[in-house]
Structure 1
């Protein structure tokens, strides 16, 4: 166990101590002011009720600790000329991060209307948690932030994602003790087994124990030093304890601890880089224990407030109805002595301004926190070179994601020197048929290895950990600092990161409207091992609902692609890797499947997003009897097989086949940038003919996207309807009525021209269902006519 008091006892001179404490008081003062005041920002007159906001919103409890860390990191940055990215897991410490970026000057640079004067202070205070202003947490609007507060658990995975391939970056990551109770955070401590001290930066975790959540104690704060020591040594860290409440003592303790841990990090990196030895070290971390609501009111109405959960949000929340609170608030704010901190014009006094780093060394101005500034385009191979030959549609087979893996292998090879591309996934890279990437790179692994291990290396660029949360967090941190990546996952279990996707999509949407934020590389998902090909895993692995979740987000940031074969998947993959500031969701199967389009046709089809497949249609020069639409690889195959069945039994039927690869093309004009006009939509789907639509996911999503489109009353959608089990591929389609025979049956119900023939054909269909069930129960596989079907025309 390493205690701060065992280190260099008083590294700060009396002058340094006085200035650091004054700077901290200034940050605390600005933080309280943001929560409470809308006028009289420097208390140049007695505080009145009209100076106080009518609605008091925000979080005070964690903020003084965050301010304390910030000022001490500033000292280290200035002394050692470091690049430090500050990530705050206790995200509702927003007033502290705003206060510090204001004090260092960054805030006024990106928001010139919030000037370094009394009027600027008034605006700074008023905007916080105020209509037309800024959120209470560390939001995209906050300079220096890549981690949005609110939902807890992802700070440390974001921090490691930012540190990968950034050898000159130190990420100081504050982990709140409430946040430390979450599952994603617990797993992310293991990220140190993936950090290469030669090529990567460093992460300094700072576990901030202040004892309480919203209304309860936190678990880690109630552990003894010995238990905490054992816990974090077990995780692979060397913990340093900084504990107390006396400001003068705590400043000296924190300064001594930072001096030590920064030296240790530099020694680790120097030894690893000079000797070429990536062996996993014992990285230092800090366990900082301070009172919750430190320096705030000790008691309110005779009830303990500081160092208790009552200081979590707004300690004096009823100023308007309790006049005595106004005096308590004024006394609290004056305890920071603002008259000693700001000059007559409201500007931080020069001797305190000197404590902040300059230029891009300021944590609010660090380019890594605005990753688009650092983004370099990927070197891309020509995806056409990986084309699958398709001499005739629907007659040859390939594994689409295996072909995609070959393309990604060469993306990785071309960008090895730039070190700005990684692949992420929960132990499924090989399972999802991206095996080829191991020809270019091993899996990242800095933990112990055995002689018989395969594809493990400290220099690997394939990131695998059996935690979707950690993979997502790593990738987000990697993207937000300007690099590129792809995340593959089983379709059913991508739901584990639903809320993380939410936060990232909201970040992208918000930053589109922040001029100083630069676009970052897109977040790319491949969802495979999908609902229609879960033969052995069964019902638990069958869920295509992530698409419904994604489509809830703003149209200017989300894209959804369902390429039907390998060549369309290649075209989509190339597009996604070149794109910026989107979430791209790609759904594609990994099993051998029929191929439909040669590369030239695939590029045209993906460029248009949807279109008539002329080679599969027979309505040229006449009106179709029915439009058979499809979206997704298995629904496409079943649609084509249904077309074949109908043309065999109704030679006179006219069918138009429409395939959709870009799902957002279906939305009405004005709702998505990729929408086609109603005129074009009606020309493709017809103004009045029946449409039988086979969809990969839940059928109501198609209705939701198209309900204001022409001819919607004639649209009938088949898709997954929560029927599944451990069964054959075709039986999954039969259970959900998206199979070829059900689709043909739907057409017969809707085309009156064949009302006299339909009974006989329906009888054939019903017999096929009986034959199918009997066959699979006897042989355990689908009938030969199903599994060997190919497009015959």
Structure 2
């Protein structure tokens, strides 16, 4: 537990930046580091007696010891040295703290620099505030043990590992003056998302973007196991990092004085290399893809903590991961060790009698907005500007009557996105990300305003690659998600386009972002950020050549389980409704908007004005499609959500009009799925009276839904008419087949819907038995036809809407 700073003769350790670290400099850095370590230990253990002004007693210790010590001293070292770098160089910086359990360290440093007390005035920078800082940590009514939204200076939730580096690059894109340091724990380095995100440097433009400085912190262990990278020989690790396109700088050891000197040298060397790369790009305008520096920091896990507890080694082992001394209240020896541990930092040298940090402790700390806990880049809403979305009239398709024309909805949206991309060309605060699907999803019009970001080698056959592009494509949904989250959290706008089936890959990432937004909505100091917008296309019903592997509409189910004040799901049925929904989503704040829309030719049902009104309602009656008479209630409600279900419902309504003209049919279209929820459960939910007026309380409702049918039941189970609700949707039956065969296989087709109506309208089964038999025969004829001809029935393939 000894961490004395020893004198070094001939003390000037030079750095390439010209900085000379004297012995006094080392002692100053060490004072800050020791203070941060003391505060980190105090948060894990202490309820009171924060300055140890009296002997430590069991009642001074928390009854439940929570938190993680093992990573904290290494994070404190990084924070201390970033402070020096920022202050000496006048550098704007942000740090992404990857190790999931680094909360004690980051909170300690925010309190030391004053940004924490500035954000939370009741946690003042004195003894009383220190006691509050300690007491609130992992305590009921307090703050989490992870770096969290409540932590000033953070854009990264530490509760789940793997996303730090992609978040860091997202923050650096289009931020040319920003340095984004990213601490990657060696446990996190084992995750798939982190491994893929090393390739982000192939997309970083040194002309327009900032820089990312990865700091790979190897302390050797996870919760109870060694880590892979920490056990690699240095030469092999270097080969790996060089293969990723980095030049490694190594820092390591257990002697604080030497580690401080080596860390300062590595930091200065890294910044000098970064400055040279950026200067060459900004003055010379090109060149080869640069090799960016990375720092490999090896320090003992639980450094400066108890060396041994109950006869077992702790410092430098996995036993220091969480709480090294676990029974302080009940074990007198543990209590003694805790006091020795705390006093080993010599708190009387670090804090005055009122508990304020002494001058030496704060000598390396930058001021104002350059403090890591106060940077506006970590509170991106402060920097956010309105997105210049042009008037939709320029892009809307003309609809003189429903169903007379067809368009590819996402291609129409692509024209709008091209204009948004062009309008943000100078300010550079909008990006489109996706896993190699921009053109496949019919959004390639954006290439007219920006190519695809690419810093690696190019060939003559390549198209649309651009060193300065803002369309981001990499075949890693995790990396796309991380980039966009980092970009949004630092005050910019964007859209994630993805095949519907594969967006599931980032389920856990969107969980964390939704949780982040839910918490930030309750923090008045966090300014709203641009919404995270998903465009899911190439969807379940049109996978004609990909088949079953590409058919999964369940992301909607996943998202709608989350915080209702944050999540929104839209299923626009045609091109103009997609434009209206996209306009709303791109302008919105603090939401996760999921938009599901097709890229295949789709009938145009609504004019732009009609589409806007329909989207504003979220759900409404399409009176032109039904046969109900205003003098009486409908006999049945045909409802739809999604583009293919809408077409099938309209085709079914047309069949009912032809074969059962006396039947009063109401057609309802749902764009906003949350409208089905009660108003008490979701901000977009319908009051009971409005829902009953739309769907009736006692009439059968046949609902054709884009995804898994049970979601509609879950949303509407509390409604008065739920017993009359029958939902058709995707039943996990898929293959490579014709478009119409997909809906037939899943019983979503127009003929099945007509049969459902006949089966459910009282008295109709007997009267319309011949019509039902005709529908069944047509389905059988369909099966035979596609096996002989390989195409859909002519009456299906050539179908058009007629009233």
* TM-score in terms of structure 1 length: 0.98
Q: Match of 1:733, SS?
A: helix
Measure the CA separation in 1 of the matches of 2:156 and 2:287: 28
Contact 2:229 2:237 in 1 (8 A): yes
Look up the match of 2:192: 183
Q: Give the unaligned 5+ runs of structure 1.
A: none
Counterpart among 544, 559, 564 of residue 550 in structure 1: 559
Is structure 2 residue 743 aligned with structure 1 residue 770?
no
Measure the CA separation in 1 of the matches of 2:308 and 2:320: 10
Instruction: Give the C-alpha shift of residue 7 in structure 1.
Output: 6.0
Q: Deviations over 1:684-739 (max 9, x none)?
A: 11121111111011111111111112211111111111111111111111111111
Q: Deviations over 1:253-279 (max 9, x none)?
A: 111111111111111111110111264
Q: Give the unaligned 5+ runs of structure 2.
A: 1-11
Measure the CA separation in 1 of the matches of 2:666 and 2:458: 57
Look up the match of 1:726: 736
Contact 1:695 1:717 in 2 (8 A): yes
Look up the match of 1:335: 344
Look up the match of 1:614: 623
Q: Deviations over 1:521-579 (max 9, x none)?
A: 00000001111111111111111110110001111111100000000000000100000
Contact 2:675 2:685 in 1 (8 A): yes
Is structure 2 residue 437 aligned with structure 1 residue 413?
no
Is structure 2 residue 694 aligned with structure 1 residue 694?
no
Counterpart among 236, 260, 278 of residue 269 in structure 2: 260
Q: Match of 1:238, SS?
A: strand
Contact 2:31 2:360 in 1 (8 A): no
Look up the match of 2:73: 64
Look up the match of 2:312: 303
Look up the match of 2:356: 347
Question: Within 5 A, what are the aligned runs for 1:235-314?
Answer: 235-277=244-286, 279-314=288-323
Question: Within 5 A, what are the aligned runs for 1:481-630?
Answer: 481-621=490-630, 622-630=632-640
Measure the CA separation in 1 of the matches of 2:199 and 2:693: 55
Look up the match of 1:93: 102
Measure the CA separation in 1 of the matches of 2:287 and 2:712: 51
Contact 2:399 2:606 in 1 (8 A): yes
Measure the CA separation in 1 of the matches of 2:504 and 2:707: 14
Q: Deviations over 1:654-684 (max 9, x none)?
A: 1000000011111101111111211111111
Measure the CA separation in 2 of the matches of 1:442 and 1:206: 31
Instruction: Give the C-alpha shift of residue 201 in structure 1.
Output: 0.1
Look up the match of 2:24: 15
Contact 1:87 1:147 in 2 (8 A): yes
Look up the match of 1:684: 694
Is structure 2 residue 648 aligned with structure 1 residue 648?
no
Q: Match of 2:149, SS?
A: coil
Counterpart among 753, 759, 767 of residue 757 in structure 1: 767
Counterpart among 646, 649, 672 of residue 639 in structure 1: 649
Is structure 2 residue 399 aligned with structure 1 residue 358?
no
Measure the CA separation in 1 of the matches of 2:189 and 2:100: 13
Instruction: Give the C-alpha shift of residue 5 in structure 1.
Output: 9.1
Contact 2:15 2:268 in 1 (8 A): no
Counterpart among 779, 783, 790 of residue 793 in structure 2: 783
Measure the CA separation in 1 of the matches of 2:330 and 2:777: 77
Instruction: Give the C-alpha shift of residue 651 in structure 1.
Output: 1.2
Look up the match of 2:7: none
Contact 1:10 1:252 in 2 (8 A): no
Contact 2:14 2:21 in 1 (8 A): no
Q: Deviations over 1:1-47 (max 9, x none)?
A: xxx99967993112211111011000000000000011111111111
Counterpart among 153, 156, 164 of residue 144 in structure 1: 153
Q: Deviations over 1:443-492 (max 9, x none)?
A: 00011111221100111110000000000000000000000000000101
Measure the CA separation in 1 of the matches of 2:450 and 2:129: 52
Contact 1:166 1:199 in 2 (8 A): yes
Contact 1:11 1:252 in 2 (8 A): no
Measure the CA separation in 2 of the matches of 1:432 and 1:10: 52
* Counterparts in 2 of 1:425 and 1:419: CA distance versus 1, 3 Å: same
Is structure 2 residue 713 aligned with structure 1 residue 703?
yes
Measure the CA separation in 1 of the matches of 2:127 and 2:276: 45
Look up the match of 1:174: 183
Look up the match of 2:334: 325
Measure the CA separation in 2 of the matches of 1:204 and 1:756: 74
Q: Deviations over 1:586-632 (max 9, x none)?
A: 00011011111111111110111110001101213121110011000
Q: Deviations over 1:733-781 (max 9, x none)?
A: 1111111011111100111242322221121011111100000101111
**Comparing 351-360 with 428-437, which one deviates more in the overlay?**
351-360
Measure the CA separation in 1 of the matches of 2:441 and 2:372: 40
Is structure 2 residue 488 aligned with structure 1 residue 479?
yes
* Counterparts in 2 of 1:613 and 1:99: CA distance versus 1, 3 Å: same
Q: Deviations over 1:151-186 (max 9, x none)?
A: 111100000000000000000001111111111100
Look up the match of 2:441: 432
Q: Match of 1:614, SS?
A: coil
Q: Deviations over 1:97-148 (max 9, x none)?
A: 0000000000000000001111111110010000000000000000000011
Measure the CA separation in 1 of the matches of 2:531 and 2:652: 37
* Counterparts in 2 of 1:765 and 1:5: CA distance versus 1, 3 Å: farther
Measure the CA separation in 2 of the matches of 1:117 and 1:627: 67
Question: Within 5 A, what are the aligned runs for 1:34-45?
Answer: 34-45=43-54
* TM-score in terms of structure 2 length: 0.97
Measure the CA separation in 2 of the matches of 1:308 and 1:717: 56
Measure the CA separation in 2 of the matches of 1:703 and 1:521: 31
Contact 1:399 1:593 in 2 (8 A): yes
Counterpart among 225, 229, 240 of residue 234 in structure 2: 225
Instruction: Give the C-alpha shift of residue 352 in structure 1.
Output: 2.0
